[in-house]
Structure 1
Amino acid sequence: MRIDFSLFRDCKNQVRRGRRCEVVAPIAASSFDLTEEYASAFRTESYHEFWAQVLDHELEHGAALKLPISARRGKSVGGFLAENLLSPDQTTVSKILGHLKPGSLWLETRALLTDYYAGTADASLLFGLLFQEIDRTRRRFRPLKAAVHSLLSGSRPSRDALRAVGDYVSKSGDARFDPFGVSQSKFQSVRERSVSLLDRLESGRKKARAKRQRLRRIKRAAASVCVVVFVASASIVVACVPIHAVVAAAALPGLVSAGVGRGGRSARRLDRGIAQLDAAARGAYILNRDLDTISRLVARLRDEAEHARRLLRLCKWGGGDEEEGGGGRWMTEEVVQQAVRSVGSFSRQLDELEEHLYLCFMTINKARKLVMQEILFAN
């Protein structure tokens, strides 16, 4: 089922005009509408807050608001996304983790949470790089798209249109065209670190749970010892031992209870650490799934770009200008139509990738906030 991504752009435009998003995608009671589920994510309060921040950023930095939204959005957000919209930002995270009360976090938990925030910040930087490459690809394809459409506008294609197609084919060369080649090494590095982070978070969570189980067993054993000691003390009192023995016997349960109380504080600290690792592991898991989806979308874009390039090579003016004797070789209408469809499909897939990147960035922010809430609640 194909999702209509124009729903999201309409919703975003309403946010820019200061209105609430009222996009309606009907859903039958007996069926699941994926388009409605995706559209509902763009009606949330966090989405409106996110785009309010984007718009404020554009106004603050003097963005050219008369440009098309697609071009303006990539250009103004791409380079500053991680620095201006990451929440909480890395500076705030470092200050909070550095000023926590001593002993409020296990050292291993603190290290894992630090790595989690660093990993999600790296992912946001990667998304910013992808936004820049999307904008660069759009600007490269914009004249080509107009030229390809003009091939069908008359009985003969214009020389400017053919020249634009020829220039594009010549620049792309015989090698496989990759619109996201710059970000691929960075993407692979972020992806590998994200997988490693999730493994370490899950391992740390298992260790914390195992330690919590051991503390529970120790607490139950200590409680049993306390009962035995108390009963023994009572028996000694009944046997009329000297008064100093009675005092010692009465003090024994209190000493055991104090030990149990210290174990209880450790258990509570472990519980808070487990909750923090749970939140971080969920965020890392979602990030991994998002990176997998982005990888598939980018691979699909590469294939579509290569398909479009090959069709455009067929559409290229065979012998150059008529004066040079090459005017008799015309491309067939079917090939031109396929080229138009391929370029249009590439443009739509570019929009879909961009929309998914925004969703991923919002998800990263939400997960970072949830983890920080757990940290602050524990302190």
Structure 2
Amino acid sequence: MARFRSMIHQDSSSDQYIDLEQADFSEESQQLEKVLRPSRECVQAALSHIRPNTLTKLVDTYFKHSEHTSRLCLHLYRGVHRARLLYTPLHNLLDDLPLGFDLDSYSLSDSQCNWALNVFLQFDNLDNPFLSSDSHNFDDMRRCLSQLRQQLDHRLKKSHSRVHLLRRTIPKCPAFFPSNMSKKERAHLAQLNAAAKGACVLHHHLNTIDCLVAQLYTAIEDDKFRIRFGLARDQDRHAIQEVLKQLRRNRSNFEQKLMGLEEDLFFCFADINRARSLLLKEIHLHQIHHPQTLLAR
């Protein structure tokens, strides 16, 4: 986990608030190369030694989905960083106010009013770091993963049946079955299991991340609405104080959601790499023990 934090943070630690949609794609690809394990090159090298067939296509599809999900996680992690930059001036202003600040016992000074209006204007001029969930195509990604899981489950049932049939038949008629046939079927089963578990993990993380992104997007839009209310009343001290009270009241919950998204993104990175490594290990084991065989159609 610490490795992910250090590698990603190095490339996301700029103090400039940039437009994420216009960020250099090659820079994002370089970031992905640092955190995605095994790399795309390692996966392609392993699959290049196997003739394309139904099973290898499913495995290749899983690797592509996992890479795409990792890219999305990087995209959103940069959004977390930008959200913190967006809120830093606002939180600095809130930190400068008395801890027990409320409308009845405290009145903003002229300088604090001007400071608040400047911060409000800056906040309003910057885009929401989190696009709506529709723009991330979460539904499309989940739909593709669901289809992949169904296909993998179908192949798993067929593979289980073959292994079970071989176990029953080989003791009775060993001469009709090569000695490595059952081993190859078990290898196929292990690969299918690894891909199916990986797809299930991806689906779970996408659901969690989608929910958190939607909540953060809405929270920021709500804050923008409150801030525009304050800007519309310009020097209305009472209105500005009311906006600040609402922002302070919501601050803790917002920061918790931001931390929750950040943590789940790191867990998603780790789980993706763990599943990719396990699947590639199973492929390598099959190639080592059966270098002259091909995966069955």
Closer, same or farther in 2 for the Cα pair 1:348/1:307, shift >3 Å? same
1:334-353 alignment runs, 5 A limit:
335-353=243-261
Closer, same or farther in 2 for the Cα pair 1:369/1:98, shift >3 Å? same
Name the counterpart of 1:86: 36
Name the counterpart of 1:258: 175
Name the counterpart of 1:130: 76
1:155 to 96, 101, 108: 108
Deviation of the 1:333 alpha carbon = 4.7
Check whether the contact 1:88–1:369 (CA below 8 A) recurs between aligned residues.
yes
Deviation of the 1:272 alpha carbon = 0.8
What is the rounded CA distance, in whole Å, between the counterparts of 1:134 and 1:288 in structure 2?
A: 21
What is the rounded CA distance, in whole Å, between the counterparts of 1:363 and 1:218 in structure 2?
A: 38
What is the rounded CA distance, in whole Å, between the counterparts of 1:334 and 1:276 in structure 2?
A: 59
Closer, same or farther in 2 for the Cα pair 1:151/1:197, shift >3 Å? same
Match status 1:194 vs 2:124: no
Instruction: Figure out how many residues of one structure are paired with residues of the other and give that number.
Output: 269
CA deviation map 1:155-177 (0-9, x unaligned):
323313213214534667xxxx6
Check whether the contact 1:147–1:165 (CA below 8 A) recurs between aligned residues.
no
Closer, same or farther in 2 for the Cα pair 1:139/1:171, shift >3 Å? closer
Check whether the contact 1:307–1:342 (CA below 8 A) recurs between aligned residues.
no
Check whether the contact 1:272–1:378 (CA below 8 A) recurs between aligned residues.
yes
For residue 78 of structure 2, what is the amino acid of its counterpart?
Q
Name the counterpart of 1:308: 223
Name the counterpart of 1:209: 160
Name the counterpart of 2:292: none
1:82-121 alignment runs, 5 A limit:
82-100=32-50, 107-121=53-67
Name the counterpart of 1:142: 88
Unaligned runs of 5+ in 2: 102-106, 288-297
What is the rounded CA distance, in whole Å, between the counterparts of 1:111 and 1:90 in structure 2?
A: 15
Deviation of the 1:87 alpha carbon = 0.6
Closer, same or farther in 2 for the Cα pair 1:284/1:182, shift >3 Å? closer
CA deviation map 1:283-315 (0-9, x unaligned):
111111111111111122123223323333443
For residue 34 of structure 2, what is the amino acid of its counterpart?
N
Closer, same or farther in 2 for the Cα pair 1:179/1:51, shift >3 Å? closer
Deviation of the 1:182 alpha carbon = 8.3
Deviation of the 1:183 alpha carbon = 7.7
Closer, same or farther in 2 for the Cα pair 1:110/1:190, shift >3 Å? same
Check whether the contact 1:275–1:374 (CA below 8 A) recurs between aligned residues.
yes
CA RMSD of aligned residues (A): 3.3
Match status 1:276 vs 2:191: yes
What is the rounded CA distance, in whole Å, between the counterparts of 2:118 and 2:217 in structure 1?
A: 24
- TM-score between both structures, scaled by the size of structure 2: 0.76
For residue 115 of structure 2, what is the amino acid of its counterpart?
D
Deviation of the 1:93 alpha carbon = 0.6
Name the counterpart of 2:290: none
What is the rounded CA distance, in whole Å, between the counterparts of 2:286 and 2:257 in structure 1?
A: 44
Unaligned runs of 5+ in 1: 1-46, 223-256, 321-326
Check whether the contact 1:308–1:342 (CA below 8 A) recurs between aligned residues.
no
Match status 1:373 vs 2:277: no
Match status 1:164 vs 2:116: no
Check whether the contact 1:205–1:277 (CA below 8 A) recurs between aligned residues.
yes
For residue 155 of structure 1, what is the amino acid of its counterpart?
L
Check whether the contact 1:120–1:364 (CA below 8 A) recurs between aligned residues.
yes
CA deviation map 1:342-375 (0-9, x unaligned):
2443233222211210111011001111111111
Percent identity among equivalent residues? Answer: 25
Match status 1:362 vs 2:279: no
Closer, same or farther in 2 for the Cα pair 1:118/1:372, shift >3 Å? same
For residue 304 of structure 1, what is the amino acid of its counterpart?
A
Name the counterpart of 2:170: 219
Deviation of the 1:116 alpha carbon = 1.1
- TM-score between both structures, scaled by the size of structure 1: 0.61
Q: Is the deviation greater in 362-371 or in 124-133?
A: 124-133
For residue 108 of structure 2, what is the amino acid of its counterpart?
S
2:200 to 282, 285, 296: 285
Check whether the contact 1:279–1:370 (CA below 8 A) recurs between aligned residues.
yes
Greater Rg by CA: 1
